[in-house]
Amino acid sequence: MSGETPVLETPVLETRSLRKSFGALTVASDIDFRLSHGARHALIGPNGAGKTSFVNLVTGVLQASGGAILLEGADITQLAQSDRVKRGIARTFQITALFRGLTVLENVTLAVSERMGMAGDLHRPAGNRRAIIEESFQLLDDLGLADDALRPLKELAYGRQRLVEIAVALGLKPKVLLLDEPAAGVPSGESGIIIETIERLPSSLALLIIEHDMDLVFRLAKRITVLVQGAVLVEGTPKEIASDARVREVYLGERSHA
Amino acid sequence: MSKNGMTEKETAAASTIGEAAKEAASRRMALFAQRHRFRPVEALPWIAAVAAFFVFPAYLALGAQILATILYALSLDLVLGYAGIVTLGHAAFFGTGAYAAGLMAAHGMGEPFAGLAVAALAAAVVGLISGSVILRANGLPLLMQTLMVATMLYELANKANSVTGGADGLQGMVVKPVFGHFRFDLYGRVAYLYCLGVLFVGWFIVRRIVHSPFGRSLTGIRENEARMHAIGTPVFRRRLIAYGISAALAGVAGALVAQTTQFVAVDALGFERSGNILIMLLLGGIGRLYGGFIGVPLYMIAQDQFAEIDPVYWYFWIGLLLVLVVIFARGGALGVAARLLQRRGGRP
């Protein structure tokens, strides 16, 4: 919305007039959105604003009713979810969606072997794929999860499961990572580790963080888009958003004080 | 070295810690990487099967049926236990294989291995075609559709009197000797060894698949399908391939029963054939590869014994056994064994 920043390069991810409706219910109405390379971008909005629907549209869980989604300038609107992942879009889930009965390491190897195109292999034992196992282990080590590698995921504390959630997505080596409420459900004492982990992610990776927790948003995001009733209300720097009257009115609930 | 203000001793200590951690890490990775290695305990069923050949010469005909049914259970375990595809219609593939091999033998093409190959192919085709329609569903809708496919095939076989013999069953099978040499005998010795050999090959294939990256991704689909989509897995294709392979194996199992009994009843496609195998696998343990090796003999021998003791109500006793397993032995016999081992291993 704010036109001060001139756009010189193609954004890594872009949506043009993205629309989605279920009958009379519109969850996305003409969303124009640009995510630049290496972005630290947050998507905020009140409950039911259509944030998760936006993630589902971008990743291909939902098919758009209209408009276009572009990844590095290429139209991916019609691609299946798995093809979008191969092109470089990864996501995490608001409610941890992992392989609970498997070990932590195996959770990550599934993603890594899928990325390497080896997951369809019927012949060679998975255990012989040293490259996959070593890379997965390294990833866990980087996130401080090495000691948990061989434990079943369900035995981990929820905060650590949230880290595995990120590790699985990183195993896909994405260009764009959509983090859907990465600290949701984590006791406030533990959310620090998650924020630090996100801060340490490589700057080449473009991040879109969907979040309720304003502390987290203002700590991590360099840019914020506010979504209300499926439409972009305003976009700008954290400072601009914090001082925007409309945002205060709709999102921060200032209306009740007026 | 002393750049960070560390003394030499500290640096050395730090590097030992680093090395120890690295060692621990590589040990952990090695442990993880070895899971597909053959463990001695896995030889047990084969030792038992060979021993049974010598110890129970009077029961080899029953033994052959048990071995073929284990293969059938193994095929079910691949889709149900690993891929999480619930089915009440696996008899569709068992029966297709039985009829394929039966019809060949009834029309002068009784070479047993050719029969197995055609049975596998026919069942795989049925699996892939029906799977490409029904595998888009999950849970109860999927369960009902698998049941529907099997029921349709059952009625088809029942009505196609001129081809299948309908309710009277397929007569006139002439199965040629195995390897052109070993004729199926009255005592079931050749049948037993023939089934054992085929089961071994089937087990080898399934075991290999289960430990392959493909097999692991099936487990992932079972555990969390939404996440598999999100990591770029073509979930539908994986499930379909697994379903096709499983169907082929079930078809081979059906062919084994047809060839060794020289008869195909329309029951080969029946609901009981789908339901009982589920119970047998449940008794042994689902998703553990060896569930059928325990559950099938347990069920079939129990059936044999109960039928003798209580010919009228023997099914009641099978039901009671199942209820007890579900209440007191979750995960079947193998589940109980695993828990016992874990408890022992967990003791300080």
Quick check: B48 pLDDT over 50?
yes
Q: What is the pTM of this model?
A: 0.88
- Give A162 to chain B, closest Cα distance, Å: 14
Asked if residue B194 belongs to a domain, the reply is yes
A2 pLDDT band, cuts 50/70/90, is: very low
The CATH homologous superfamily to which domain A13-257 belongs is P-loop containing nucleotide triphosphate hydrolases (3.40.50.300)
Query: Which structure tokens are listed for B124?
Result: 């795989």
- Give A62 to chain B, closest Cα distance, Å: 12
Asked if residue B305 belongs to a domain, the reply is yes
Quick check: B33 pLDDT over 70?
yes
- In the predicted model, what is the mean pLDDT of chain B? 89
Angle between helices B60-77 and B44-55 (to 10 degrees): 160
Domain CATH number, residue B314: 1.10.3470
Bridge partners (DSSP) of residue A152 are A103
Chain A residues in contact with B208 by the CB 8 A cut-off are: 122-123, 125
Asked if residue B31 belongs to a domain, the reply is no
For residue A106, give Cα distances in angstroms to A84, A99, A128, B213, B228.
23, 9, 14, 11, 13
Could you give the CA distance from residue B19 to residue B261 in angstroms, rounded to a whole number?
Answer: 63
Please indicate if any CB of chain A lies within 8 Å of the CB of B27. Answer: no
- Give A2 to chain B, closest Cα distance, Å: 32
Closest by CA position to B262, among listed B165, B189, B168, B171? B171
Chain B residues in contact with A115 by the CB 8 A cut-off are: 231-232
Instruction: Give the pLDDT of residue B330.
Output: 80
Structure-token match 């009829």, residue found: B99
Q: Tell me the per-residue pLDDT of B1-26, one tens digit each, with 9 for 90 and over.
A: 444 445 566 556 556 666 776 677 77
Chosen for mutation from A79, A81, A115, A140 (greatest number of chain B CBs closer than 10 Å) is: A81
CB B264 within 8 A of CB B158: no
For residue A185, give Cα distances in angstroms to A33, A123, B277.
28, 40, 42
- Give A65 to chain B, closest Cα distance, Å: 21
CB B300 within 8 A of CB B62: yes
CB A59 within 8 A of CB B230: yes
The b/e string for A57-90 (b: 16+ C-beta within 10 A; e otherwise) is: bbbbbbebeebebbbbeeebbebebbebbeebbb
Residues above pLDDT 90, as percent of chain A:
63
Query: How far is C-alpha B60 from the chain's CA centre?
Result: 21
Q: Where are the alpha helices (DSSP H) in A79-213?
A: 81-87, 104-115, 130-142, 158-170, 188-199
Q: Tell me the per-residue pLDDT of B293-328, one tens digit each, with 9 for 90 and over.
A: 999 999 998 888 888 888 888 888 888 888 888 888
How many CA within 13 A on the CB side of residue A173?
11
Chosen for mutation from A122, A147, A166, A179 (greatest number of chain B CBs closer than 10 Å) is: A122
Asked if residue B20 belongs to a domain, the reply is no
Q: Between residues A124 and A55, which one has the greater pLDDT?
A: A55
Asked if residue B29 belongs to a domain, the reply is no
Q: Between residues B202 and B164, which one has the greater pLDDT?
A: B202
Reduced DSSP (H G I as helix, E B as strand, rest coil) percent helix, strand, coil of chain B, to 5:
80, 0, 20
Residues in chain A, total: 258
Please indicate if any CB of chain B lies within 8 Å of the CB of A93. Answer: yes
Please indicate if any CB of chain A lies within 8 Å of the CB of B132. Answer: no
Q: Which of residues 197-226 of B touch A (CB under 8 A)?
A: 208-209, 211-217, 219-220, 223-224, 226
Instruction: Give the pLDDT of residue A126.
Output: 84
- In the predicted model, what is the mean pLDDT of chain A? 88
Could you give the CA distance from residue B247 to residue A193 in angstroms, rounded to a whole number?
Answer: 48
Domain count, chain B: 1
Could you give the CA distance from residue B284 to residue B282 in angstroms, rounded to a whole number?
Answer: 5
Asked if residue B85 belongs to a domain, the reply is yes
Q: Tell me the per-residue pLDDT of B165-220, one tens digit each, with 9 for 90 and over.
A: 888 889 889 888 989 889 888 889 999 999 999 999 999 999 999 999 999 999 99
Instruction: Give the pLDDT of residue B14.
Output: 56
Q: Which of residues 156-195 of A touch B (CB under 8 A)?
A: 168, 171-172
CB contact under 8 A, A115 and B232: yes
Could you give the CA distance from residue B107 to residue B110 in angstroms, rounded to a whole number?
Answer: 8
CB A125 within 8 A of CB B38: no
User: Is residue A199 packed enough to be buried (19+ CB in 10 Å), middle (13-18) or exposed (0-12)?
Assistant: exposed
- Give A21 to chain B, closest Cα distance, Å: 22
Please indicate if any CB of chain A lies within 8 Å of the CB of B3. Answer: no
Quick check: A161 pLDDT over 60?
yes
B258 pLDDT band, cuts 50/70/90, is: very high
Query: How far is C-alpha B315 from the chain's CA centre?
Result: 23
Query: Which structure tokens are listed for B337?
Result: 């064994």
Angle between helices A130-142 and A158-170 (to 10 degrees): 130
Closest by CA position to B260, among listed B52, B51, B66? B66
Please indicate if any CB of chain B lies within 8 Å of the CB of A154. Answer: no
Sequence-distant (≥ 6) Cβ neighbours of residue B223 within 8 angstroms: A98, A99, A100, A101, A102, B84
When pLDDT is averaged across residues B108-127 and rounded to a whole number, the result is: 96
The dihedrals phi and psi of B302, each to the nearest 5 degrees, come to -60, -45
For residue B19, give Cα distances in angstroms to A13, A145, A180, B29, B182.
42, 18, 37, 15, 61
Give the domain extent around B290: 39-346
Q: Between residues A242 and B71, which one has the greater pLDDT?
A: B71
Q: Tell me the per-residue pLDDT of B123-159, one tens digit each, with 9 for 90 and over.
A: 999 999 999 999 999 899 999 999 999 999 999 999 9
